[in-house]
Amino acid sequence: MHACIHRGATQIGGSCVELEHEGQRLIIDLGLPLDAPDNSRERLPASLDLNGLAPCAVVVSHPHQDHYGLLHHLPSGIPVVMGKAARRIVQAAAPFTGQVLPGLEGPELVDRVPLQVGPFRITPFLVDHSAYDAYALMVEAGGRRIFYSGDFRGHGRKSALLDRLLAAPPSPIHALLMEGTSLGRNEESPAYPTESELEAELTTCCRDTAGLVMVHASAQNIDRVVTLFRAAKKSGRTLVIDLYAAAILEAAGGKRLPQSDWEGVALYVPFRQRLQIKRQGCFDLLARHQSKRIYAEALAADPGRYALLFRPLHSNDLERAACLKGAAYVYSQWQGYWESGSYDDLKNWLEAQGIPRHSIHTSGHADVPTLRRFVTGLAPERLVPIHSFNPQEFSGLYDKVEWHADGERWAV
Ligand SMILES: [Zn+2]
């Protein structure tokens, strides 16, 4: 078996790896680079050939754009292998994000159930990550075995999955492709806070705030939505979600995940979302989720009763309906987006409204001690860096590191 990292050897985002055996090809992830100005065909990795012999399949490790955002450029008929809930999440998000919905037909990834695709035997391992239904993948062909970590962590709500994998790791692993998002980012405080620690912080924030608590997090970060729901419950508040969040939670589908009709949850549909619903004709979706619908007047009448899963498109409505007296804003996403100016309008708005800003967040990726634990536990013959801006730092994690550049073909 041969491998080629088409993109990801020296960057986070836009991941794409190809495996080849006896002339057959398997592609793992087809992501959009984080800094891409658009998702046009030019963003495909230069070394990836989609005109030659069709790959047996494309496997998507998890439903984040930097791993599937270029799928719509695939010629039709190539199976897309991904988790069942992951597939539903991508479908549910499309009407709201305006992104092109790619063809998504193909077999499912099921935790620890091997799947044969052409000459490749794929065993998925469900992992703890900020994306729901995320997998690491072990692929075997021609007696060789490669393990692709995907994106993972060990401090989320599913941290037991990492313990389980490392308690009985598959062996031997001839090459481990491991993500290294955190390398070079956090020298000073190596261990990241857990979701449970965030829950305690958010609970305190909810208790200490007289007015509305607005928590700015991605609805697709299901762990975080659960954290917020639990914090809201503990502090006697109702979690308020919009229709996008309701659709994503429904798509995730876990029986233990908060849903729009749950006790302690309410639906609020801001004006700009009402326009989206009209434009996309999502009336069935609204009908399905509006049993607990509330309006801005309710939020304004007693804002201290609610914790809102906030997005910037809510701000005008909240201001106009006078819901902001005594409010607090909690930023619960990667600090880099804030610092790069992505939310400057929001920042100015918060200042103009005199709303204090808190930052309560933890990474979706493994911290450095967890990366070390992962590679030591899997004990591969060699470690190949991927999904990192600092691949040289992998040498501090393990003694058998092998660097392969984007576009380079190498024997597993
Ligand atoms: Zn990623």
Ordered by start, the domain boundaries in the chain are 2-186+364-411, 195-359
Residues around ion ligand 1, judged by CB within 5 A, are: 66, 151
Percentage of the chain exceeding pLDDT 90: 92
Q: What integer pLDDT is reported at residue 154 of this predicted model? A: 96
Give 144's contacts (C-beta < 8 A, 6+ positions apart). 1, 174, 412
State mean pLDDT over 337-352. Answer: 95
Confidence label for 123 from pLDDT (cuts 50, 70 and 90): very high
Q: How many C-beta neighbours within 10 Å does residue 245 have?
A: 25
Cα 381 to middle of ligand 1, angstroms:
24
Q: What integer pLDDT is reported at residue 188 of this predicted model? A: 54
- 213 bridge partner residues: 307, 328
Cα 64 to middle of ligand 1, angstroms:
7
State mean pLDDT over 158-172. Answer: 97
Q: Are the CB atoms for 241 and 268 separated by under 8 Å?
A: yes
Cα 8 to middle of ligand 1, angstroms:
9
Tell me how far the alpha carbon of residue 36 is from its chain's centroid.
18
Angle in degrees, CA 304, 364, 308, rounded to 5: 15
Cα 368 to middle of ligand 1, angstroms:
16
Q: Is the confidence at residue 189, as pLDDT, over 80?
A: no
Q: Which of 117, 12, 106, 7 is nearest to 56 (CA)?
A: 117
Confidence label for 191 from pLDDT (cuts 50, 70 and 90): confident
Cα 307 to middle of ligand 1, angstroms:
29
Edge to edge, the sheet with strand 16-21 lists: 108-109, 80-83, 57-59, 24-28, 16-21, 2-7, 409-411
7-42 pLDDT, tens digit each: 999 999 999 999 999 999 999 999 999 989 999 999
CA pair distance 376, 395, nearest whole angstrom: 13
State mean pLDDT over 293-314. Answer: 97
Cα 151 to middle of ligand 1, angstroms:
6
Cα 86 to middle of ligand 1, angstroms:
14
Q: Is the confidence at residue 186, as pLDDT, over 70?
A: no
Q: To 10 degrees, what angle do helices 84-97 and 243-252 make?
A: 170
Cis check: omega of the bond before 312, within 30 degrees of 0: no
State mean pLDDT over 395-402. Answer: 96
Q: Which of 44, 385, 408, 397 is nearest to 181 (CA)?
A: 385
Confidence label for 255 from pLDDT (cuts 50, 70 and 90): confident
Tell me how far the alpha carbon of residue 360 is from its chain's centroid.
17
CA distances from 138 to 44, 45, 402 (A): 24, 23, 18
Q: Is the confidence at residue 309, as pLDDT, over 80?
A: yes
Question: How are beta strands 24-28 and 16-21 bridged, if at all?
Answer: antiparallel
State mean pLDDT over 237-242. Answer: 98
Q: How many C-beta neighbours within 10 Å does residue 268 have?
A: 25
Q: Are the CB atoms for 248 and 219 separated by under 8 Å?
A: yes
State mean pLDDT over 85-90. Answer: 97
CA pair distance 276, 278, nearest whole angstrom: 5
Q: Is the confidence at residue 301, as pLDDT, over 80?
A: yes
Query: What's the sign of the alpha-carbon dihedral 31, 35, 38, 44?
Result: negative
pTM of the predicted model, to two decimals? 0.94
Cα 174 to middle of ligand 1, angstroms:
23
State mean pLDDT over 109-130. Answer: 98
Cα 52 to middle of ligand 1, angstroms:
27
State mean pLDDT over 250-264. Answer: 93
Give 86's contacts (C-beta < 8 A, 6+ positions apart). 60, 62, 63, 109, 131, 132, 133, 134
Cα 180 to middle of ligand 1, angstroms:
10
Helix, strand, or coil here: 311? coil
CA pair distance 237, 49, nearest whole angstrom: 53
Q: Which fold has domain 195-359?
A: Rossmann fold (3.40.50)
Domain 2-186+364-411 is found in CATH 2.40.170.20:
no
